[in-house]
Amino acid sequence: MRKMVLVSLDAVFEQDMKQFQEGWLGEWLRHAAVCTKVKTVFPALTYPAHTTLVTGCDPAGHGIGQNQPFQPDKEAAMRAWYWEEGQVRRETLFQAVRREGGRCASMLWPVTGKSRAIRWNFPEVLALPGENQVTKMLAYGTPGWILHMEIKHGRKRKSIREPYLSDYAVILGKDVIAAHQPELTALHLVDVDEMRHLHGVNSPEAMAGLKRQEERVKALWEVMQHSPGMEDALLAVVTDHGQADVDKPVVLGNALTKAGMKAQVQSNGMSAYVFTEKPENVKGWLNGHMQETGVSHVYDREELDRLGCVAGPDLAVEAAPGVVFADGLPQAKREKAPHGFGPGSPAENCLLAVRGRGIREGVTMPAMPMRDVAPTLAGLMGIRLPQAEGEDHSQMIKMD
């Protein structure tokens, strides 16, 4: 089995490639096999995308259609997220590696809590009101290893907020690569996503975040080069979605209620799910009131099925430029740049780049749906991912 380090740069997308051209990452990419047109999932959210990246299935297949299950009866602060591996309905790369006798490490990869497949697991989970963050991390991750890393490296972490949490994830990643050389090491680095939410897509803060991400990838690549047992390992860099600036929050559920429409709304940021017993009535009303509701398109269930959208919502709506749906998302009213958009957005094109021994340098891969990433990575590692729906492009970038 070929070893791999898989790094996700959250909220980095095609337009950011020009920011990397003159730096270390630009040079690294010129020696890699690269696709800058990986089409993200619908909706363009972190948890559905990251689950697609490791299953090779659209949300309809793997079952993670939002960051959070629909919980309309709970206050926003009390709503759980999709934190547990057991909520994923398809085999993941982590599970496939373990099935083939390999070992996995994960730092902040979404929907990996309580994983039986990950030997060293520092999961992305958040303590809800009344819970303790440390206790929750230990319950969902690998407690002995997490505590050992805290004793060894905890003083280096300035905060659990970004950009410091991404820094700590890289510290853990470097340690586990050097000490254990897992067959699969995955890191989810959130820095740029947070900066763009708070400050805007092209803000100085976001640009500084891109530079930090470059330095983190460099640090991981360098420790790979100097760790015995990692000589043939591949570094794969992926991204999940872009973002767009907004300035108009809309509570769509209020508009539907005022119009006498019996419907519930779950916001995805720049799109929203609509649950209703009368989808045709609601769709007709929304199509006739787009300007005042901030809606640019209404997806019916047939269209959602074609997009690979998870089952459940009866309709979905796309936001007009500048609009963010704030239903159940109080932070949306303060955000400068969300995501969650549908197909055709300028921010839909994501990155897949792979470099290492045996990979053809300078290959440009064609546009592909995000579901193609996992089977391609599995093919490069020499493992099977039989439940994947996407195509394996690994032969295109392997040396003969």
CA distance 172 to 167: 9
Q: Residue 333: what pLDDT? A: 74
pLDDT of residue 334: 85
Question: Can you tell me the distance from the alpha carbon of 117 to that of 123, in angstroms, rounded to the nearest whole number?
Answer: 13
pTM for this entry: 0.97
User: Under a CB-based contact definition with an 8 Å cutoff, are residues 359 and 55 in contact?
Assistant: no
Confidence of residue 305 (pLDDT cuts 50, 70, 90): very high
Of the pLDDT bands very low, low, confident and very high (cuts 50, 70, 90), residue 219 is very high
Are 2 and 232 in contact by the 8 Å Cβ rule? The answer is: yes
Span 312-327, average pLDDT: 97
- Calculate the average pLDDT of the chain: 97
Model confidence over 109-134: pLDDT tens digits? 999 999 999 999 999 999 999 999 99
What pLDDT, on a 0 to 100 scale, did the predictor assign at position 81? 97
What contacts 24+ positions apart, CB below 8 Å, involve 216-222? Answer: 216/7, 216/166, 216/167, 216/170, 216/189, 217/7, 217/9, 217/25, 217/28, 218/24, 218/25, 218/28, 219/170, 219/174, 220/5, 220/7, 220/170, 220/173, 220/174, 220/177, 220/187, 221/28
Q: How far apart are CA 144 and CA 151, in angstroms?
A: 11
Look at residue 76 and tell me whether its pLDDT is greater than 90. no
pLDDT of amino acid 362? 95
Cα 228 from chain centroid? Answer: 30
Residues 6+ apart with CB under 8 A from 132: none
270-280 pLDDT, tens digit per residue, is: 999 999 999 99
- Is pLDDT at 400 greater than 80 in this prediction? no
Listed by start position, the domains of the chain span 4-244+344-397, 248-333
Counting residues of the chain whose pLDDT is more than 70, the rounded percentage is 100
Asked if residue 202 has pLDDT above 80, the reply is: yes
The region of weakest confidence among 45-59, 64-78, 107-121 is: 64-78
pLDDT value of residue 155: 95
Exposure letters 317-356 (e unless 16+ CB within 10 A, then b): bbbbeebbbbbbbeebeebbbbbbbbeebebbbbbbbbbb
CA 315 to chain centre: 23
Q: Is 4-244+344-397 in CATH node 3.10.105.10?
A: no
Predicted local distance difference test score (pLDDT) of residue 304? 98
* Per-residue pLDDT at 88 exceeds 90: yes
Whether 296 and 326 have beta carbons less than 8 Å apart is answered as no
